[in-house]
Chains A and B, each alone.
Chain A
Amino acid sequence: QDLLVESGGGVVQPGRSLTLSCAASRFTFKIYGMYWVRQSPGKGLEWLAYISFDGRLKNYAESVRGRFTISRDNSKGTLHLQMNSLRADDSALYYCAKRLDSDYAMDVWGQGTTVIVSS
């Protein structure tokens, strides 16, 4: 069964940076687009970023454009989210997700990694 495992979460001060990683296994990572999605406490799901299978296409939500950068290393089967200028409202559970091969839906999700932005 396809597997995604996020890491890199933690407590960080406002204005600082943090990089999340997502390790993929049990599927051919390099042929799938990938997403980052988050859920803040008491709120719904929010899409953050998308990267195509080859890394050439990247899309961002308005709330993180210019602050967050999505990237991938197909040789290592890893996805990353570099987060700069973090704010309190970036505190959330962050998920990586895999794009369904025949569609743009998200068919595999990791368990998430928690980011808390606090002084």
Chain B
Amino acid sequence: EVVLTQSPGTLSLSPGERVTLSCRASQSVSSNYLAWYQRKPGQAPRLLIYAASNRATGIPDRFSGSGSGTDFTLTIRRLEPEDFAVYYCQHYGASPPITFGGGTQVEIK
């Protein structure tokens, strides 16, 4: 099972700032099967990035994903007010189990 560790646990930032979120896997992630989701209170998770660096349909280009192997990053170029949320990384693929990281909360400073 791939264990995902997200850091930091919480980030306090202001609108307009650049954000870099980290997700480290306990072993190499095959085929870059790594996704990022955004979760706001009272809402379902929203797919942002799949296959490490591909933006999902309708996701603004201020969101970008990068990385390979065991180290992955989600970057938000300029924080918008609606971007304050919890972000999860996820390892998935043809072979289970699917695992999620513990999440990083991005809060307003």
Contact = CB atoms under 8 A, between A and B. Distances in A.
A104 B92 contact: yes
A97 B33 CA distance: 17
B44 A111 contact: yes
Given A44-B103, A95-B44, A95-B45, A107 B57 contact: yes
A35 B92 CA distance: 11
Given A105-B92, A110-B44, A100 B50 contact: yes
Interface in B51-67: 51, 54, 56-57
A45 B45 contact: yes
Contacts of A106: 35, 37, 45, 47, 90, 92
B44 A104 contact: no
Interface string B22-52: 0000000000010101010001111100110
Interface string A13-34: 0000000000000000000000
Interface stretch (B10-18, B76-84, B94-102): B94-102
A105 B101 CA distance: 14
A45 B92 CA distance: 13
A53 interface: no
A9 B63 CA distance: 34
Nearest to B96: A59
Contacts of B88: 44-45
Contacts of A95: 44-45
30 contacts: A44-B88, A45-B39, A45-B88, A45-B100, A45-B103, A47-B92, A47-B96, A47-B97, A50-B96, A59-B96, A59-B97, A62-B97, A95-B44, A97-B45, A100-B50, A103-B50, A104-B93, A105-B50, A105-B51, A105-B90, A106-B37, A106-B45, A106-B47, A107-B50, A107-B57, A109-B45, A109-B46, A110-B44, A111-B43, A112-B44
Interface of A: 35, 37, 44-47, 50, 59-62, 95, 97, 100, 103-107, 109-112
Interface of B: 33, 35, 37, 39, 43-47, 50-51, 54, 56-57, 88, 90, 92-94, 96-103
